[in-house]
Chains A and B, each alone.
Chain A
């Protein structure tokens, strides 16, 4: 019987691929963290490594927490959209530099621009474990009370911003999104 295992594994791979390609409307996978408070943490600031930041930095105002790394090609593609978001909305953008080399991360932000209000260093991926991070990029929307309202696995693009993040931000506090962009809703 055990000789059928390879066949089973193979069948599983094929089924996942076929199913995936066949799906018209792709669904977001639910996260266990939705409506849970953002976990407590202690992580150094990328630009001032001796300064340890904690959960207090995130609560108080709506925040987007973005997990990124220089080794992640999708993060580079997403970067432009993050810059646009900081121009369009008055939301705090907090970066978590995930399993990365801080020197490279600083050079990277110097090259592509730095849209983040704060960048936390998570070089060991420990904060990533707390947040259930699977890979990079991932983005969490956190309300002023510090609860995770929405989680995006993969890049934030125009569609995700318009359909998922913006409405939730406006629900939190309508004046967060700037006039120009709010008019286009």
Chain B
């Protein structure tokens, strides 16, 4: 079976290569364009076969396959056997390739929307990238390699940290987002090759940008949620290099999302949009390099086994270097003169992009400079959360303030008196509501007060605007509804971050059975610890009864020992709630049957993720806007710089 998978992957690579050649060479030939579609379908089918073959090897406990032996175990439940497929380096690249094939196939399905020259070049670029990934997989990290004749009797087990629902769904979403960024990237390359960057081009790119951005958002959210309940520290974001690796492309994609809107509506920001499309995917390659090369654990681990890292670095150099060179030569033609005032959507999009780029620079500096430092000397240092927070909190608040005005702003210019009356009406409501919230939670840090105010203000302006419009006309464009939901989600996240970061209570206590402790006005009764058995682990399970006024609930945190590797894992007991989470984790056993117990009361922590999911939902909703479905008729029209008419949000 493994050989079959290997063969299919090779075949997929060959087909992708042929696709790329055909796409570039016969780029304006309608006849060949049709064949390219079949080739893409073929690549997808063979990549799927190869992926299924790998999954099958896992389900069959085929420990003669080295990758299976290293990442699975016969005791593992079946669903973890499947998710173990992407639990390691080699398998995640097979999944990565499968996703790239899937995105390419989606572009093929929408081919009638694009002129043939653009279509073929987009497909060719995607196929060429795919060739690079497949070669990487086959030559440096072959998941189908056999351990013959020394076949182990049982596998080494999947890292227990990854044996969890969050880790079944988090990597696929994240990879879908990472790889999805290749589509706007390919459109940017095609546009540069064809010398065609106009409003229509922007309209082609927008749904793809939204799609991959939404995947990335959900992926990052799932990762944060997983870290919260699985690592046992009660934190939800650690500014860890692997987190930052996914956050950097997200920031670029968010900027792209907004910049491409200006390109579509006003024909402005063209070269900037192109650059963002290129950098979004470049950053996801960089993220792949950071995570997959071993520079994370130590820059020197990379130097010891540089094969993979060096391949990615060379691939990165070729892909990013050549596209930036192309950009440098061609983009000069797109400097556009579009006039707009300070109080206009354009200018506020500019603020948005400037803030996001500054944030990106901060994250990049904080992530790469310690690595560069370690590479040049040998000292390993961290800049740490204080560094990131010092810059990030004010940046996000500025972004938030800019968003509050979105509903009142027009393209080009907005009358000052309209903005003033908007500020008065909505501002007063927001002030009153946030004063009430502040009165209840009593924050002692000024940034938290500002955060609450900004979040409530965004919510008020957007909700009032949405209802005002729906009252006039119940059929609003989906792109507008999507944007409103996404901005509302952003506000939810800010509110969650502000409140959970300032109001959380954290207690480390020593408890003996039948002892009671107080946590944020609740009484926590420790009933003791019992031994329980899971499918592939034994656990010490604590039982805590928490009484909050009239309601009581039980929490059962565990300390698990996994049988195959002997690894000890902490499984926190969490009582989730929209207003607050109660979180208990078992620490170390102490003398006399006592345990070190960590208790958290985390108000509104769910809002952080809920907001992010709303953002992603908004992005998805906007894809289904009717104007993207009307593209077909325009596909072969001549290039035009005039802003498109259609159902615009406000004109």
Interface residues of A (CB under 8 A from B): 3-4, 6-7, 10-11, 13-14, 16-21, 23, 26-29, 69, 71-74, 99-100, 107, 125, 134-138, 152-155
Contacts and interface: CB of A to CB of B under 8 A. Distances in A.
A11 B328 CA distance: 13
B279 A154 contact: no
A135 B384 contact: yes
B396 to A, nearest CB: 19
A11 B318 CA distance: 11
B328 A71 contact: no
A6 B379 contact: no
B327 A154 contact: no
Contacts of A125: 386
A49 to B, nearest CB: 17
14 contacts: A14-B321, A16-B372, A20-B375, A21-B303, A28-B379, A71-B386, A125-B386, A134-B373, A134-B383, A135-B384, A135-B387, A137-B381, A153-B377, A154-B377
A31 to B, nearest CB: 11
B320 interface: yes
Contact of B372 (A20, A71, A136, A155): A20
A135 B313 CA distance: 26
B188 to A, nearest CB: 12
Contacts of A135: 370, 381-384, 387
Interface of B: 271, 275, 278-279, 282, 299, 302-303, 306, 313, 316-317, 320-321, 324-325, 327-329, 331-332, 368, 370-387, 508
The residue in B313, B325, B384 that gathers the most chain A C-beta atoms within 10 A of its C-beta is B384
Nearest to B378: A26
A6 B275 contact: yes
Contact of B381 (A16, A18, A107, A154): A154
Contact of B332 (A3, A26, A153): A3
A153 B373 contact: yes
Nearest to A72: B382
A172 to B, nearest CB: 23
Contacts of B321: 7, 10-11, 14
Contacts of B371: 17
A23 to B, nearest CB: 7
A57 to B, nearest CB: 24
Given A14-B317, A135-B382, A27 B275 contact: no
The 5 closest A-B pairs by CB, nearest first: A154-B379, A20-B375, A99-B386, A135-B381, A7-B324
A28 B332 contact: no
Nearest to B309: A21
Given A138-B381, A153-B377, A6 B271 contact: no
Contact of A26 (B278, B376, B384): B376
A154 B372 CA distance: 13
A154 B377 CA distance: 9
Contacts of B320: 10
A154 B384 CA distance: 13
Given A3-B332, A7-B328, A17 B375 contact: yes
A26 B376 CA distance: 6
Given A17-B313, A73-B382, A107-B508, A29 B331 contact: no
B269 to A, nearest CB: 14
A4 B302 CA distance: 30
Contacts of B332: 3
B378 A154 contact: yes
A72 B384 contact: yes
B382 A71 contact: yes
A6 B372 contact: no
Contacts of A155: 379-380
Contacts of B329: 3
A152 B317 contact: no
Contacts, number: 106
Nearest to B334: A3
A140 to B, nearest CB: 13
A6 B320 CA distance: 10
A28 B377 contact: yes
Contact of B375 (A4, A6, A19, A107): A19
Contacts of B324: 6-7, 10
B299 A21 contact: yes
Given A7-B327, A125-B386, 19 more contacts: A3-B327, A3-B329, A10-B324, A13-B368, A14-B317, A17-B375, A20-B372, A71-B382, A71-B385, A72-B384, A99-B384, A100-B386, A135-B370, A135-B382, A136-B384, A153-B381, A154-B373, A154-B380, A154-B381
Contacts of A107: 508
Nearest to B329: A3
Contacts of A71: 382, 384-386
A27 B302 contact: no
A33 to B, nearest CB: 15
Nearest to A73: B382
Contacts of B316: 14
Contact of B271 (A3, A4, A14): A3
A6 B378 CA distance: 29
A20 B371 CA distance: 9
B615 to A, nearest CB: 27
B299 A74 contact: no
Contacts of B373: 134, 153-154
B385 A26 contact: no
B382 A29 contact: no
Contacts of A7: 321, 324-325, 327-328
Nearest to A137: B381
Given A7-B324, A20-B372, A134 B381 contact: yes
Nearest to A100: B386
A29 B386 contact: no
B384 to A, nearest CB: 4
A164 to B, nearest CB: 11
Contacts of A29: 376-377
Contacts of A74: 380-382
A89 B76 CA distance: 50
A47 B44 CA distance: 63
A21 B375 contact: yes
A6 B271 CA distance: 12
A135 B275 CA distance: 32
Contact of B331 (A3, A17, A23, A73): A3
A74 B381 CA distance: 7
A6 B386 contact: no
A16 B370 CA distance: 12
B302 A6 contact: no
B376 A20 contact: yes
Contacts of A3: 271, 327-329, 331-332
Given A6-B275, A6-B279, A71-B386, A21 B306 contact: yes
A141 B377 CA distance: 19
B375 A153 contact: no
